[in-house]
Amino acid sequence: MLAATVAVLPLLADGPVLRDLADTRGITYGTAVTASKLTGAYGELAGEQFGALTPGNEMKWESVEPTRGSYSWSGADRVVDFAEAHGQKVRGHTLVWHSQLPSWLTGGGFPAAELRTLMTDHIAAEAGRYKGRVDYWDVVNEPLDEDGSLRRSLWYEQLGESYIADAFRAARAADPDAKLYVNDYNTDGLGAKSDGLYALVKRLIAQGVPIDGVGFQAHLIIGQVPATLEANLKRFADLGLDVAVTELDIRMALPVTDAGLAQQKAEFARVTTACLAVARCVGVTVWGFADSDSWIPDTFPGQGAATPYDENYVPKPAYTGIAEALGWTGGGDPPPAGSSCSVTHTVQNEWGSGFTAALTVRNTGTAPLDGWKVTWEYGAGQRVTQAWNATVTQSAARVTAVNAAYNAAVPTGGSVTFGLNGSRSGTNPPPTGLLCTTGS
């Protein structure tokens, strides 16, 4: 699918918008978030810069089912609602894990059959609640030990390897449209642990287990980003699965140095480039976008600065490294004053002499839109022959689309889509100069 997009008017500063740059490259750039912080500058950056959100803790078992059979969804709801209001995807994290389990579960002494039912009931409840609203689920998190054998977790010890297949089947039954992932750390490069993961995934596929993807957490250390990251992603993709970098951070010893930040910039870029190089890599998620919202300093005393923004939400060199890896050159015209929309152009269908394209206008500002206009150039002789949901005119290569009366209004965070058929002769490169401006 060909896609092109343009970013207009970041809320906090002029500069690149990672989610839109990522869209143009066919991947999604996401972040883990803390639900309670999704206001003010934190909320604006999370909504403006990222195309997907992962709740850092709010969907874990101890958060959603602290007491047996009694669910508490407020934190998880907050993240999902926020993502929908900002046109973002959601990575659900996580349904079955050995950690952050409630004590009623770990200390319950449940016999195997009951434990298995507790697990599948929990999956049914959680994935069922968010059916159609979560794009990807980390169904099973961290099932492996460092040597590549299966982790001796509560689940494995009591239920054996079959807990994994059962968890995926329960998740598929609860939400047939969500992409189902296994997710782990220290599996980013080639090695014993990722070999174990690879073997596990092959067994699951052979058993017909409904698995769609593999998540690579990528909790990395500067100077130690695996050289084999891309090759490793590729071997999993070659099994016919999607892959994603799901929890990227790159930590360093504190205090930070300019050299450390420069190296971190290059390494955030490298991880991003590795995903871009693997066709089935659907995206990268950073594990917290700001150093003030990172787990690293608590867990690794003396280390930190592991994310793309500092404690005060000032972008670090790593942020620029990501943007550059996504194709940002620092050039281009500044966004027109007053604009607060962005637009994506996607070729949906292509045949010998024609094509169909969909264009989605998103309100990236803080106020509702009342009218919008999109302009672009088709550089290879493409001609618009028919359009819907907008008035589209063309003069030579230049195309202008203006809202219809019924879709002039776009709420904050909302989007509208219009479409067209075009004729072509030969190639059909994406449009250039794609720009959205707001109306009255």
Which of 126, 230, 247, 267 is flagged as catalytic?
247
User: Which residues are at the interface with ligand 9MR (CB under 6 A)?
Assistant: 56-57, 99-100, 141, 185, 217, 247, 295
Q: Are 80 and 147 in contact (CB under 8 A)?
A: no
Active-site residue, 142 included: yes
Q: What CA–CA distance (Å, rounded) separates 154 from 118? A: 13
Least Å distance between CB 287 and ligand 9MR? 6
| Smaller CB separation from ligand 9MR, 141 or 232 | 141
Q: Are 54 and 121 in contact (CB under 8 A)?
A: no
Least Å distance between CB 378 and ligand 9MR? 45
Q: What CA–CA distance (Å, rounded) separates 136 from 48? A: 21
Q: What CA–CA distance (Å, rounded) separates 91 from 296? A: 21
Give buried/exposed letters for 132-165 (b at 16+ CB in 10 A, else e): ebbbbbbbbbbbbbeebebbebbbbebbeeebbb
Least Å distance between CB 436 and ligand 9MR? 35
Q: Does the N-terminal peptide bond of residue 94 adopt cis geometry, omega within 30 degrees of 0?
A: yes
Q: What CA–CA distance (Å, rounded) separates 28 from 20? A: 9
CA atoms within 13 A on the CB side of 365: 20
| Smaller CB separation from ligand 9MR, 31 or 88 | 31
Which of 142, 230, 267, 324 is flagged as catalytic?
142
Q: What CA–CA distance (Å, rounded) separates 290 from 315? A: 8
Residue 398, token pair as written in the block = 């230049």
Q: What CA–CA distance (Å, rounded) separates 407 from 416? A: 7
Least Å distance between CB 34 and ligand 9MR? 8
Residue nearest to ligand 9MR (CB): 295
Least Å distance between CB 435 and ligand 9MR? 38
| Smaller CB separation from ligand 9MR, 50 or 355 | 50
Active-site residue, 267 included: no
| Smaller CB separation from ligand 9MR, 296 or 387 | 296
| Smaller CB separation from ligand 9MR, 56 or 413 | 56
- Which residues are marked as active site? 142, 247
